[in-house]
Amino acid sequence: MPVYIRKTMVISPPSILSRMSDDEDDYLTDPDQIRDLLPQPYRMINKIIYNLFDDIWEIISERENARIAEASRIKPPKYECAIQMQPFGQATCLSDSIDGRYIFIGLPNGLAAVDAMTQQTVTTWEDDKIEVTQMQVSLIGVQTYLLCTVDDMGVSRFFAFAQDRIHLLKVASEQGGSGSKTIITKCQASTEGDFVGIVFEDTSNKETWIEVQKLPRDDWLRELEATSKKSTSQTKPQSPAPLGDDSDAPADGEQLPGEEKMIDAEDAEKEEKQSVGQRSQSPTSSRGAMSPVPPGGGGSSEKMHTKFSTPTLVVKIRPPADITGCNASTPQQATKLTDTGEVIGSGSNHSLTAHHLENRKAVFDYFHEQHLRYLPKEEESAQQPMFHFFTAGRLLPTGLDMPGQEGRPSSIGVWWVGGTQVFYYSLVKASKDIEHKPEFVSPHSDVLTATAVSQCTSLLAVGLKNGIVVIWDMHIGVNRRLINLTDDATILKLVFLNPNICGQDKVHYPPYGTKTNSYLLAWCSDGSVYLINCGMGKTSQPITVMPKMSDQDNLPTMVEPVNGVPEVILVVKRNGTAFLLDVTKGNSLPLCQVNLPTTHELTTPWDPVITVGGQGHMMYLKASQKDPSEDYVPNSGMSSLFVFTLRSFPTLDDYLRRQRPDIPYVIHNTVDKRIETLLKERINQQASRQRRMQERWINLKNELDIIQQIKDTNKRNADLRSEYLHP
C-alpha cells in the first residue's frame, strides 16, 4: 500500500535520550559510571555490600510496616487479674470435668483434683515414679469420673474419682504379651466410659495396633459405692483405748490408717516389674510442692484392700497391610479370588500379580529417575491411628435391634495417619477371633488429616489434605455436605459446636421435629478458622472466623471451644498470646486477651498446658519465668499455675448469663413417636375444631338467608320484566 508524505513535513531525528540503555552501569545515564569499574576483588566486595544494604532496607521496611499495622490495629481488652497456684507449678497436663465441677491436674508424681471454682485441693494420688503426660476424663455416674492416663514411661492407668477420692481401678497392659518393649501412646474412652481404645507401640519394630476393651462400668460403680460405705464405717469415732494398750498398733507389714492400696492382685507382679512402687492416697497428705486438702476437703482414708473388676478385650485392630500382588497363577484363579465389587473394601483383593506391580514400579522409576532423587527420604516411623466410637445407625446397623444397646457404642471407626480410608469394626458382634475384618470401609479421594464426631455420634466430619470437608449423617446414612474450604492449606482440626448457637429453621408442620442445624468449626494449617453450617440441604458459604495468617508467629497452636459457652473459642498463638473469640460474629475483634504478669510467659506455646473449667467461668494455664536466674518471688519456683476468673471480665458477662436451650444434633423420630405426636396434636386441637364448627354453622345460616334473599329478588325482577314485555 503506497504511503504519501508531504514534502513540507519535517521529521525530527531520534533523540539520544530515547536510545539510552537500561543498563545501570552505562555512563550516559550516570556520569559517575564514566570511570572504569572497580577491579577484582573490590568489585565483588562492593556488590556484596550493596546487596547487604538492600536486604537490610527490606527488613527495616517490613518492620516499619508491621509496626504501623500494629499501631493502627484495634486491640482487644486485656485482663491481668490472675491467681497464682504455686503448689501446682509443675503440672504436666490439665483436664476439665464434663460438668465443670473439678479440674484434674497431672503432676510429675501423681494426680490431683481441684475444685474448679474455689481452687481448693480436693484430693491427691501420689507416686514419685509416675509422671502423667496425657489424661482424658469421662462422666460414668453421678459425680463419678473415669480418668484415663498415660505416663512418660508409656503405661496407662484407669482411675475413678468419686466421693472426693481417687481410686486406681486398673493398670492397662498388652493382653497376652510380655510388654517388655511395648509402650502405650494413646488411651481414649467413649463418652460414658463403656469402651476404651488403647494404642500400643512396639519400640523394637515400630509396629502399632489398637486394643478395644469393654469396661465394667456398672460393676465399678457398685464396687466404688461399696468401698465408700466401707470407708465411712471405718472412720466412725471409737472409744479411746486404755493407756498402754497396744492392741491398736499396726502389726509388721500392715498398712497404717490413711493409706489405701487399690491394685488388682493379678497386676501386682506387673506393677512390681515396672517399678511403679506402692500407690497411696490421702486427701490430707502433702508433698513439698503439693498443698494439703483444705479443712472440710475430705477425711483420711482408712485401711482397705479393694479389687476392682477387669476390662474385657473386645477387638484388636492392626494397620492395613500394604497392597501386594495376587498369588494366583492363572487369570481364572485371580478372578475367583477377586471380590464381586458389591461391597467397598480395602483394595487388598485384586487380580494384579506381583510381577505386574514390579514392572509398573520399574517403568515409573525409569521415566522419573531424575525427579525421584530430589524427594525427601521417608523416615521409618510407627503408624499413628485415630478412632471414634459410634452408636448404631442406618450406616452402621450392627446392634440397632439389640435390647439395652440404645445410646451405647456399638462400633468403632479407625483411620491411620497417611491413609485415605476409614475402617469400621463392630464391638457387639460375637466372634471367636479378636482380630476380624472391618464391617464397613469408607474410602476418600485424598489423605485424611482430621475427623470429628458429634456428642451423640450421629454426625461425622472428615477433613482431607486438599482442604475438602465431608459431613456424614451416620444415623440416616446420607451425606449432608461436601465443601471445599481452601486449596492452599490442610485441615488440622474439626470440632462440632452445640446446636443451640445455630439458628433453627421454623417448621409449622409436622408437629414433631424433623431436622436441626449445627455448626462445625474447622481449623486449617495456614491459621484460618471457619464455621460451617451442617444443616440438611444447606448451601451457605462458611463463615471466616480467623483469616489466613502470613506471619508465622501469629499462627495458632491451639483452637478449642469453651465448655459451657459454645459461642466462644480459646485460641493460643505461637507468640504466647491467649485470647477468647466469638465464632458467631465472623472475622471480628477478640472478646478479650488474657495477660500474664510481666515476669512470666506461657509455657511451651506450641503445646500449652491450659484448660477452661467451671462451665466457662475459670481458666487455668501454666506459665514460666522469663528470666530463670532472677527470683521474683521467694521460693516461687520456675513455673506456676495461674487461674483467671473469666466471670469478672465485662466482655464475657452476656455470654455467661445467657440461657441456652437443649437442642440435639440429630432428631431421631420413630414411627410410634410420630403417631403419638400427631394424635396428641389432634386431641389438643379438638376444642378449636368444635369452635370452628359452631362458627361455621352460624355462618352457614346467614349465608342461606342471603342466598334466599338473592333468589327472591331475582324472582321479583323476572316477574317485572315479563309484565313489561307482555303488558
C-alpha–C-alpha distance, residues 608 and 593, integer Å: 16
DSSP letter (8 states) at residue 214? E
Rounded mean pLDDT, 519-524: 94
Type and span of the H or E element at 359: helix 354-367
Residue 501 near residue 565, CB atoms below 8 Å: no
Please give the pLDDT value at position 450.
Answer: 95
Residue 19 above 80 pLDDT? no
Nearby residues of 429 by Cβ (< 8 Å), 6 or more positions away: 398, 439
HSE-CB of 347 using CA atoms within 13 angstroms: 12
Q: pLDDT above 90 covers what percent of the chain?
A: 35
The C-alpha angle 66, 68, 69, rounded to 5 degrees, equals: 65
Residue 28: phi and psi, rounded to 5, are -70, -35
Q: What would the grid cell of residue 137 be?
A: 476424663
Q: Is 384 exposed, middle or buried (0-12, 13-18, 19+ CB in 10 A)?
A: middle
Residue 160 above 90 pLDDT? yes
The C-alpha angle 389, 96, 533, rounded to 5 degrees, equals: 55
Nearby residues of 472 by Cβ (< 8 Å), 6 or more positions away: 395, 459, 460, 461, 462, 478, 479, 480
Q: Based on C-alpha coordinates, what's the Rg of the chain?
A: 37
- Which pLDDT band, with edges at 50, 70 and 90, does 4 fall under? low
Q: What would the grid cell of residue 269 be?
A: 507382679
- Which pLDDT band, with edges at 50, 70 and 90, does 354 fall under? confident
Residue 262 above 60 pLDDT? no
From start to end of 65-206, where are the E strands?
A: 78-79, 82-85, 93-96, 102-107, 110-115, 121-126, 132-141, 144-151, 156-162, 165-172, 182-189, 195-202
User: pLDDT digits over 244-254, tens only?
Assistant: 344 343 344 34
Average pLDDT, the chain: 80
User: pLDDT digits over 605-642, tens only?
Assistant: 999 999 999 999 999 999 988 876 665 554 456 888 99
Between 671-684 and 686-725, two packed helices, what is the crossing angle to 10 degrees?
60
Q: pLDDT above 70 covers what percent of the chain?
A: 79
Residue 243 above 50 pLDDT? no
Residue 105 near residue 94, CB atoms below 8 Å: yes
HSE-CB of 9 using CA atoms within 13 angstroms: 4
User: pLDDT digits over 104-158, tens only?
Assistant: 999 999 999 999 999 999 999 998 889 999 999 999 988 899 999 999 999 999 9
Rounded mean pLDDT, 562-579: 92
Q: What would the grid cell of residue 674 be?
A: 410420630
Of 29-33, 112-116, 364-368, 568-572, where does mean pLDDT reach its minimum?
29-33
Residue 674 near residue 680, CB atoms below 8 Å: no
Q: Nearest CA to 263 among 158, 186, 184, 154?
A: 158
C-alpha–C-alpha distance, residues 197 and 385, integer Å: 10
User: pLDDT digits over 53-110, tens only?
Assistant: 999 999 999 889 888 877 777 778 888 778 888 888 899 999 999 888 999 999 999 9
Q: What would the grid cell of residue 241 be?
A: 483405748
Q: What would the grid cell of residue 70 be?
A: 500494629
Q: Nearest CA to 157 among 84, 102, 104, 99?
A: 104
Residue 706 above 50 pLDDT? yes
User: pLDDT digits over 268-283, tens only?
Assistant: 334 434 433 333 344 3
Nearby residues of 495 by Cβ (< 8 Å), 6 or more positions away: 452, 520, 521, 559, 560, 561
> CB atoms < 10 A from the CB of 403, how many?
5
Please give the pLDDT value at position 24.
Answer: 56
- Distance from CA of residue 192 to its chain's centroid? 17
Q: Nearest CA to 140 among 194, 103, 186?
A: 194
SS3 31: helix
Pairing of strands 592-594, 102-107: unpaired
Residue type, 479: N
Q: Which of 229-233, 299-303, 571-575 shows the highest mean pLDDT?
A: 571-575
Residue 329 above 80 pLDDT? no
Greater confidence, 470 or 341?
A: 470
Q: Is 526 exposed, middle or buried (0-12, 13-18, 19+ CB in 10 A)?
A: middle
Please give the pLDDT value at position 204.
Answer: 83
Nearby residues of 474 by Cβ (< 8 Å), 6 or more positions away: 390, 393, 394, 395, 396, 457, 458, 459, 460
Greater confidence, 129 or 539?
A: 129
Residue 187 near residue 134, CB atoms below 8 Å: yes
C-alpha–C-alpha distance, residues 136 and 148, integer Å: 5
Type and span of the H or E element at 331: helix 331-337
User: pLDDT digits over 368-415, tens only?
Assistant: 888 888 887 776 677 889 999 998 888 888 777 777 777 889 999 999
C-alpha–C-alpha distance, residues 411 and 396, integer Å: 7
C-alpha–C-alpha distance, residues 21 and 28, integer Å: 8
Evaluated on CA atoms 589, 595, 600, 606, the torsion sign reads negative
Please give the pLDDT value at position 326.
Answer: 77
> CB atoms < 10 A from the CB of 339, how many?
12
User: pLDDT digits over 194-233, tens only?
Assistant: 999 999 998 888 889 999 999 999 999 999 998 888 877 7
Length of the chain in residues, anyone? Answer: 727
Please give the pLDDT value at position 382.
Answer: 72
Name the maximum alpha-carbon separation found in the chain. 145
Please give the pLDDT value at position 270.
Answer: 43
The C-alpha angle 123, 128, 131, rounded to 5 degrees, equals: 85
